[in-house]
Chains A and B, each alone.
Chain A
Amino acid sequence: EPEVTQTPSHQVTQMGQEVILRCVPISNHLYFYWYRQILGQKVEFLVSFYNNEISEKSEIFDDQFSVERPDGSNFTLKIRSTKLEDSAMYFCASSGNGVHTIYFGEGSWLTVV
């Protein structure tokens, strides 16, 4: 069964460093998303991406965050200068055109020290 894949599964980074989280969405999907889950808290929406541009973003998704689809298969989330409060599980997700079922990857654990 097709799935969303994410790398790395775990990353530890020092505060102030840049981090890039990578995702390969399901191949025929057109909508891409990033969500995050701080330990013990709800899953929170960060950003949605369609037709090579951001379609919606949350208040969390400030200037420190950016997304990119550098080629036909990858979808990345960049955090320019990480803060301690960026420590969380980051989930990539995708969905098909006109289909609302959203499929999530296994997540990337980010620990900022």
Chain B
Amino acid sequence: SQQGEEDPQALSIQEGENATMNCSYKTSINNLQWYRQNSGRGLVHLILIRSNEREKHSGRLRVTLDTSKKSSSLLITASRAADTASYFCATDGSSYKLIFGSGTRLLVRP
């Protein structure tokens, strides 16, 4: 399978610090997407990076993609308490089906 797997599984930081989450996958992809999920809520789309892109920014988010290592990272700069959530990477290959990783639980302490 082309599962995305995130690490760390859990991350606790102080408000204002940066948070970095990593994702690895196994097979070739077309795109990699990052989602946020607040406890018991829906999946909020954060950013999509295509396989031919290496870096993408959106506000306080920075995503990198290294297809040679089959890995991606999500950096949240200047974190806020409201960033507390689970973050998932999801990959798609030859179809539109997304394969999700296990997620990183981020806690931002005020």
- Bound-state Cα–Cα, A42 to B99, Å: 9
B24: shortest Cβ distance to chain A, in Å? 14
B-side residues, CB < 8 A to A, are 30-31, 33, 35, 40-45, 48, 88, 90, 92, 95-103
- Bound-state Cα–Cα, A31 to B42, Å: 18
Which residues from chain A contact B45 at a C-beta distance below 8 Å?
101-104
Contacts A42-B102, A100-B31; is A95 near B96 (CB within 8 Å)?
yes
A52: shortest Cβ distance to chain B, in Å? 16
Interface size on A, residues (CB 8 A): 23
> Contact at A55–B95, with CB atoms within 8 Å?
yes
Please name the 4 residue pairs, one residue from A and one from B, whose CB atoms are nearest each other, closest first: A106-B42, A104-B43, A43-B100, A100-B31
> Contact at A105–B100, with CB atoms within 8 Å?
no
Contacts A45-B97, A48-B97, A56-B97; is A104 near B42 (CB within 8 Å)?
yes
